[in-house]
């Protein structure tokens, strides 16, 4: 066997159906090329069962995705010899019965953990962490096989190439995460890329974008490097705009309306008013750094809290269900809907109520990881974080390590809020982090521009790809059957995620 070719960078990003992600990937590739680095780009070429944006191997989606990737590569001028196409393989898996998502997370193939990415993909797809073989067995197998194909391919690729580093988009899902595990096992440095603040992109060194430690380190780096006056002004501006529902920096979940009367009806001035702010659990359920060991899920913690204070007339508990859960039907939302306890007042996810006004009127705030926790500190409320968050290492909230410690903080008289100025490093970071775009102009799914031209949605090459990928119809049928236990229908033809 010949000696592997040493190269500077290998890039792996399956992002063709997201105009934002494919544009950011093109931005990164263009920079690598302009830096005269030696590189290879790994493309899917419809070899995998599915991906995050094309969950069932819809061949129209594959055709569009690959033509859009070709558009990016052609604009940059990538020679054919610098492209590596994945191959379909037939991995032999011994798939056991899975009782829960934790067992899926632990699954390995050829010594590489592939279960964590599979669990992440499935939980995101269904927005539900109730994951077991009885309910999702066929689809778990479908995803595990896809992840194993990724392992097979990169095991072979790394026999031919020795990259100094990998660049990988996001890294959380089943078709990507096995490569993260391979890099860790083989001590190959890697960067994940994701969108940054406003219209920027960011690299995350040897970590996922969801890494609390990485974010904390970068927060302090950016804060230290910034002008002392400007950074405080920007930090304040982030919190103020968030409260207004201004989406200058990021998406807003703010709910407004004539809410004063509703809020007044929730507050009991004769009692200690405690606001509980939950969050959706699906995206970060399988991220290692977000595991805290305090409880299995937020609903368990909420019920245990209410039970502990049952009959105690000194406290008024109010639960604000996160607006992001409004259209979700999963284990978390069904359990919340089943709560019927007079000790807990519940504000549903779809209720038009200003959470910030509610924060103003309560005495304490309890959160499980939502960014609203650091916002409540900024607006002057004692805040208790019972879980993990990107602000976990900042001195902005109380962090009990047990139920007993949490209960003690809730009953503590005159619990002081942390200083507002401690929050500014967080606001400044999320208002500014990332690299400015040079080649990509994001304008939505059909109007985004890369190197001066619109990124096509479905062009002539995509039409040709449809015929090229016709043999994938059987994989498509199997995906629909595995996920929904039914045959493919006409409506499935156009059912895939073409994202902004």
Q: Is the pLDDT of residue 135 over 70?
A: yes
Confidence of residue 333 (pLDDT cuts 50, 70, 90): very high
Q: What is the 3-state secondary structure (H, E, C) of the chain?
A: CCCCEEEEEEEECCCCCEHHHHHHHHHHHHHHHHCCCCEEEEECCCCCCCCCCCCCCCHHHHHHHHHHHHHHHHHHCCCHHHEEECCCCCCCCCCCCCCCHHHHHCCEECCEECHHHHHHHHHHHHCCCCCCHHHHHHHHHHHHHHHHHHHHHHHHHHHHEEEEEEEEECCCCCCCHHHHHHHHHHCCCEEEEEECCCCEEEEEECCCCCCHHHHHHHHHHHHHHCCHHHHHHHHHHHHHHHHHCCCCCCCCCCCCCCCHHHHHHHCCCCCEEEEEECCCCCCCCCCHHHCCCCCCCHHHHHHHHHHHCCCCCCEEEEEECCHHHCCCCCHHHHHHHHCCCCCEEEECCCCCCCHHHHHHHCCEEEECCCCHHHHHHHCCCCEEECCCCCCCCCCCCECCCCHHHHHHHHHCCCCCCCCHHHHHHHHHHHHHCCEECCCEECCCCCCCEECCEECCCCCHHHHHHHHHCHHHHHHHHHHHHHHHCCCCCHHHHHCCCCEC
What pLDDT is stored for residue 66 in this prediction? 97
Where in the chain are the domains? Answer: 5-196+435-494, 229-432
What is the spatial distance between Cα 458 and Cα 67, in angstroms, rounded to a whole number?
8
What pLDDT is stored for residue 493 in this prediction? 85
143-172 mean pLDDT: 97
The token pair that represents 190 in the structure block:
């890697």
- CATH C-level class of 229-432: alpha beta
Least confident of 99-113, 261-275, 282-296: 282-296
**What Rg value do the Cα atoms of the chain yield, rounded?**
24
Question: Which of 344, 422, 436, 352 has the alpha carbon at shortest distance from 383?
Answer: 422
435-451 mean pLDDT: 95
What is the spatial distance between Cα 252 and Cα 245, in angstroms, rounded to a whole number?
6
What pLDDT is stored for residue 491 in this prediction? 86
What pLDDT is stored for residue 302 in this prediction? 97
Q: Is the pLDDT of residue 23 over 90?
A: yes
48-77 mean pLDDT: 95
Q: Is the pLDDT of residue 111 over 80?
A: yes
pTM for the structure as a whole: 0.94
Between the alpha carbon of residue 281 and those of residues 82, 123, 286, 301, 447, the distances in Å are 40, 9, 9, 13, 33
What pLDDT is stored for residue 268 in this prediction? 95
What pLDDT is stored for residue 252 in this prediction? 65
Phi, psi of 309 (to 5 degrees): -105, 10
What pLDDT is stored for residue 490 in this prediction? 87
Confidence of residue 400 (pLDDT cuts 50, 70, 90): very high
246-274 mean pLDDT: 80
């Amino acid at each position: 066997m010949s000696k592997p070719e040493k190269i500077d960078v290998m890039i792996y990003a399956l992002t063709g159906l997201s105009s934002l992600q494919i544009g950011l990937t093109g931005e990164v590739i263009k920079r690598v090329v302009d830096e005269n680095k030696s590189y290879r780009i790994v493309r899917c070429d419809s070899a995998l069962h599915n991906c995050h944006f094309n969950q069932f191997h819809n061949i129209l989606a594959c055709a569009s995705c690959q033509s859009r990737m070709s558009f990016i590569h052609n604009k940059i001028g990538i020679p054919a010899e610098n492209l590596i196409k994945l191959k379909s393989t037939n991995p032999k898996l011994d798939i056991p019965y899975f009782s829960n998502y934790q067992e899926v997370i632990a699954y390995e193939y050829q010594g590489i953990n592939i279960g964590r990415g599979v669990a992440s993909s499935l939980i995101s797809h269904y927005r539900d962490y109730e994951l077991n073989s009885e309910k999702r067995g066929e689809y778990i197998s479908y995803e595990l096989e896809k992840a194993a194909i990724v392992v097979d391919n990169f095991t072979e690729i790394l026999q031919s190439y020795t990259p100094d580093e990998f660049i990988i988009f996001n890294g959380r899902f089943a078709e990507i995460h096995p490569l993260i595990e391979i890099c860790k096992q083989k001590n190959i440095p890697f960067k994940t890329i994701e969108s940054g603040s406003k219209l920027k992109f960011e690299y995350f060194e040897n970590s996922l974008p969801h890494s609390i430690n990485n974010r904390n380190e970068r927060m302090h780096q950016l804060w230290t490097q910034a002008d002392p006056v400007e950074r405080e002004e920007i930090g304040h501006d982030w919190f103020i705009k968030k409260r207004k529902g201004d989406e200058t920096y990021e998406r807003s979940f703010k709910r407004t309306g004539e809410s004063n009367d509703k809020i007044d009806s929730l507050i009991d001035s004769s009692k200690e008013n405690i606001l509980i702010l939950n969050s959706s659990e699906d995206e970060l359920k399988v991220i290692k750094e977000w595991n805290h060991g305090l409880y299995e899920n937020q609903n368990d913690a909420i019920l245990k809290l209410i039970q502990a204070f049952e009959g105690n007339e000194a406290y008024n508990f109010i639960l604000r269900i996160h607006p992001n859960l409004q259209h979700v039907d999963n284990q978390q939302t069904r359990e919340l809907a089943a709560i019927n306890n007079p000790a807990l007042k519940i504000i549903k996810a779809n209720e038009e109520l200003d959470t910030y006004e509610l924060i103003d009127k309560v005495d304490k705030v309890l959160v499980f990881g939502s960014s609203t926790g650091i916002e409540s500190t900024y607006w002057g409320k004692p805040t208790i974080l019972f879980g993990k968050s990107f602000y976990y290492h900042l001195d902005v909230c109380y962090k009990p390590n047990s139920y007993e410690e949490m209960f003690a903080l809730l009953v503590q008289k005159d619990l002081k809020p942390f200083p507002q100025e401690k929050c500014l490093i967080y606001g400044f970071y999320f208002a500014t982090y990332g690299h400015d775009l040079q080649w990509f102009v994001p304008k939505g799914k059909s109007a985004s521009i890369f190197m001066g031209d619109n990124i096509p949605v479905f062009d002539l090459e995509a039409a040709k790809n449809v015929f090229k990928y016709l043999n994938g119809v059987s994989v498509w049928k199997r995906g629909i059957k595995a996920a929904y236990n039914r045959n493919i229908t006409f409506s499935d033809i156009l059912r895939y995620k073409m994202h902004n």
